[in-house]
């Protein structure tokens, strides 16, 4: 039996799987990761393209909804113990899917989330974001007890620090940048999770999202809001973490770039 040198996981907000399926398949062909978490499917489970992913070597579990939100996990190996949304937290928006996969050194719990955007501080949507983040944190506390080897990935819609924003001064206090959102991000780290991207030296102005407007990508006016957090039990196995900007250069790109995690076998 051939032993894999490494396991790779990735997260990508693809802003409509209906539109972006060809790009996801192209990216997987060039980047044959073991696990991929997708956000903003914007389609119902009945329309999820299982056949296309299966042909590419992936099985998938999805949690979709019409028009908005929707998340999925793709994996080369079986996805077990699938959980949809935050247990005990009543929510009519499809934002979380979690599953257990075989990992290097033992099973790996993968939690994939499309965190609430929150629109603007003071809005009802911001209040919902705060409640959602609180519920996530409380659920993850137990989830980490049950599954010490855990990865939390997704579109967090939070720029954790000033260096994660193209304009930390001008955008101070606005959505993605508020103290309240950043406190929630720190609370997740306080559970024993580490921001895998920051375990390594990274280029300055590394971002994962750029507004479609105003030539955001061309001017690198972006935010780092897509993250992969790893539990303490996994930390020593993290070999690398990087953002792949290449799909953002394509025609008809998602506004987000994939983030990739390398785990040592």
Q: Which residues are annotated binding-site positions for Mg(2+)?
A: 13, 40, 155, 157, 255-256
Q: Which stretch binds DNA (CB under 7 A): 1-9, 48-56, 84-92, 210-218?
A: 210-218
Q: Is residue 168 near DNA by the rule CB under 7 A?
A: no
Q: Is residue 219 near DNA by the rule CB under 7 A?
A: no
Q: Is residue 213 near DNA by the rule CB under 7 A?
A: yes
Q: In what order do the strands lie in the sheet with 71-75?
A: 59-63, 71-75, 35-39, 6-13, 259-264, 238-243
Q: Is residue 200 near DNA by the rule CB under 7 A?
A: no
* 155 in active site: yes
Q: How far apart are CA 126 and CA 175, in angstroms?
A: 9
Min dist. Cβ of residue 208 to DNA (A): 12
Q: Is residue 212 near DNA by the rule CB under 7 A?
A: yes
Of 34, 58, 114, 164, the active-site residue reads 114
Min dist. Cβ of residue 170 to DNA (A): 8
User: For DNA, which residue of 4, 5, 6, 18 counts as binding (CB under 7 A)?
Assistant: 18
Residues 103, 73: contact at Cβ < 8 Å?
A: no
Q: How far apart are CA 155 and CA 169, in angstroms?
A: 23
Q: How far apart are CA 234 and CA 114, in angstroms?
A: 22
In the complex with DNA, the residue whose CB is nearer, 66 or 235, is 66
Q: Is residue 117 near DNA by the rule CB under 7 A?
A: yes
β 6-13/222-223 pair status? unpaired
Of 147, 176, 227, 256, the active-site residue reads 256
Residue window 48-77: x/- pattern of binding to DNA, with contact defined by CB under 7 A: ------------------xxx---------
Of 34, 58, 147, 155, the active-site residue reads 155
Q: Is residue 252 near DNA by the rule CB under 7 A?
A: yes
Q: Is residue 125 near DNA by the rule CB under 7 A?
A: yes
In the complex with DNA, the residue whose CB is nearer, 50 or 125, is 125
As annotated, the active-site residues are 114, 155, 256
Residues lying near DNA in the complex (CB under 7 A) are found at: 15-16, 18-20, 42, 66-68, 116-117, 119, 125, 211-214, 252
């Amino acid at each position: 039996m051939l032993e894999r040198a490494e396991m790779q996981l990735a997260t990508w907000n693809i802003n409509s799987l209906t539109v972006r399926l060809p790009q996801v398949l192209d990216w997987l062909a060039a980047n044959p990761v073991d696990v991929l978490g997708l956000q903003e499917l914007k389609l119902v489970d009945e329309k999820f393209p299982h056949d296309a992913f299966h042909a590419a070597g992936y099985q998938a579990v999805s949690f979709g909804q019409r028009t908005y939100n929707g998340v999925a996990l793709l994996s080369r190996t079986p996805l077990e113990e699938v959980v949809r949304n935050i247990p005990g937290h009543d929510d009519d928006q499809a934002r979380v899917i979690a599953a257990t996969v075989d990992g290097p050194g033992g099973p790996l719990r993968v939690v994939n989330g499309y965190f609430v955007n929150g629109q603007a501080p003071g809005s009802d949507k911001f209040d919902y974001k705060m409640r959602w983040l609180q519920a996530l944190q409380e659920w993850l506390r137990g989830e980490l007890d049950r599954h010490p080897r855990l990865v939390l990935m997704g579109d967090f819609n939070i720029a954790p620090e000033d260096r994660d924003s193209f304009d930390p001064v001008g955008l101070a206090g606005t959505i993605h940048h508020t103290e309240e959102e950043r406190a929630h991000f720190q609370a997740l780290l306080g559970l024993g999770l580490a921001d895998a991207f920051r375990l390594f030296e990274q280029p300055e102005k590394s971002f994962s999202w750029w507004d479609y407007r105003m030539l955001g990508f061309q001017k690198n006016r972006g935010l780092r809001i897509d993250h992969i957090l790893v539990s303490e039990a996994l930390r020593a196995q993290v070999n690398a973490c990087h953002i792949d900007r290449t799909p953002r250069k394509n025609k008809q790109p998602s506004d987000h770039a994939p983030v990739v995690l390398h785990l040592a076998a």
